[in-house]
Amino acid sequence: MANETEELELEPMPKSRTGIPFVLFGLVMAAALVPLRVYQVMYRQEAETGFWLVRDEWIYVLYGILAVLCLVPVLSGMILRRRAAVDLGRKLRPVEATFAVLCAAGFIWDAVISFQFASQVWLDYRSGIYIEGFETGATSALQYMVKTGSAAAFLQTLFAACGALLFVQIALINFRIVKRMEVGRLLALMPALWAVCRIIRRFVRTISYIRVPDLFLALLAICFLMIFLLAFAQHISGMNNPGREGRMLGAGIPAAVLLLAIFVPPTVMFLMGRSADLSQDASMELADVGLALFILTFLAGRLLFAPKGYRPDKGNPPSEDTAAPDAAPEAPADTEAPAAAPESEGAPFETYDEDAITEGIAAALSAADNQTPTDTQDITAETE
């Protein structure tokens, strides 16, 4: 099943507001969270395991920032979900298209890395070499691949390749290289399924996620990212699901900020020549920064919020300010509307108008009485 990504433009909403204030809030949270994470990665975490070296007040500052970052957008999305809409205007969007290309490149890179990992684990298993913690010859090949996360890595490779294709299509549409393009619902779900495989691989390790901040932040970011990508898939595939704009707002802002928080610190350490001090759970993936920038750009440029009392999903109630100038005049109150045709299916009971039936029978009898003398005269004439 496929649907067109380009739809008709929304009817103009009176004094509509954009999602820019929420994006600015996300940037402020990123300005507070990212430097803190860089400091903690450099001086407050073990190089090999990623565990906390000391438990100081900065840990509680981190949790406080995370609480504000998660609660404010989620509550805002719940409150504004009925007044939110997505701008479907057909116009050039070069910034959004550029970040879509970056997302596509990140997905391709992730597909290559995931395939290398999965194929290496498979070849090592065939050679009798096992990952630490899974040294057993009694486990079947399939069970071994599932427990080590290699099966999820193979699926992640497939979903990442399809996700790259999806974002290439999005880039072509936003660059106005193509005006109309169909996106299937299955293809729209590929990035969300990619995120599911990614979080499965994170859960393979039996470790305290609270004591390892890199894993904790990664899991939190992927959870919000899955929610956003599911709502985004409903949007681009044309599925009419009420409240999807609120979910995109509530999950998109935390996901973007958290993705930046897990991408920037390892990148800074790598640029400083201290990559050896990074833990094995540190995430430095191109798809993270691509998705973060794309989400922020999408919410800032497309998300709209109407004033209180306006319902984008049901239309604006007619008023003097919002009524269309060429709108047809309303019918007089005493004019009876034509009766609706009875439904052939789905109606639990059929209703009949007894007065109308009685009047119809009386009219038929009256017509018969008027017609009877004429018929009798004709018959008498023919007899004579």
Measured distance CA(282)–CA(90) in Å, rounded:
40
Q: Which of 21-30, 104-113, 121-130, 165-174 has the lowest mean pLDDT?
A: 121-130
User: Positive or negative CA dihedral for 296, 301, 302, 303?
Assistant: positive
Q: pTM for this structure? A: 0.74
pLDDT of residue 381: 43
Averaged pLDDT for residues 224-241: 90
User: Positive or negative CA dihedral for 378, 379, 382, 384?
Assistant: negative
pLDDT of residue 6: 43
pLDDT of residue 113: 92
Measured distance CA(269)–CA(215) in Å, rounded:
17
pLDDT of residue 322: 35
pLDDT tens digits for range 302-327:
888 876 665 555 544 443 333 344 44
User: Is residue 298 over pLDDT 70?
Assistant: yes
Q: Residue 191: name the closest of 218, 219, 217, 165 by CA.
A: 165
Contact 65, 29 (CB under 8 A): yes
Measured distance CA(217)–CA(198) in Å, rounded:
14
pLDDT tens digits for range 171-228:
998 998 887 777 888 999 999 999 999 998 887 766 655 567 888 898 899 999 999 9
Contact 83, 310 (CB under 8 A): yes
Measured distance CA(303)–CA(87) in Å, rounded:
6
pLDDT band at residue 367 under the 50/70/90 scheme: low
> Is the pLDDT higher at 359 or at 270?
270
pLDDT of residue 207: 64
pLDDT of residue 60: 92
Percent of the chain at pLDDT exceeding 90: 37
Long-range own/partner contacts, residues 38-45 (CB < 8 A, 24 or more apart): 38/264, 38/265, 38/268, 40/213, 40/265, 41/214, 41/265, 41/266, 41/269, 41/278, 41/282, 42/265, 42/269, 42/274, 42/277, 45/213, 45/214, 45/279
- Residue 234 identity (one-letter amino acid): Q
Helix, strand, coil percentages in the chain from 3-state DSSP, rounded to 5: 60, 5, 35
User: Is residue 73 over pLDDT 90?
Assistant: yes
pLDDT band at residue 295 under the 50/70/90 scheme: very high
Measured distance CA(88)–CA(303) in Å, rounded:
10
pLDDT of residue 15: 44
pLDDT of residue 34: 95
> Is the pLDDT higher at 214 or at 165?
165
Long-range own/partner contacts, residues 236-244 (CB < 8 A, 24 or more apart): 236/5, 236/166, 236/170, 236/183, 236/188, 237/2, 237/3, 237/183, 237/184, 237/185, 237/188, 238/3, 238/4, 238/5, 238/7, 239/3, 239/185, 242/81, 242/82, 242/313, 243/81, 243/82
User: Is residue 373 over pLDDT 50?
Assistant: no
pLDDT of residue 341: 40
Average pLDDT over the chain, rounded to whole?
Answer: 77
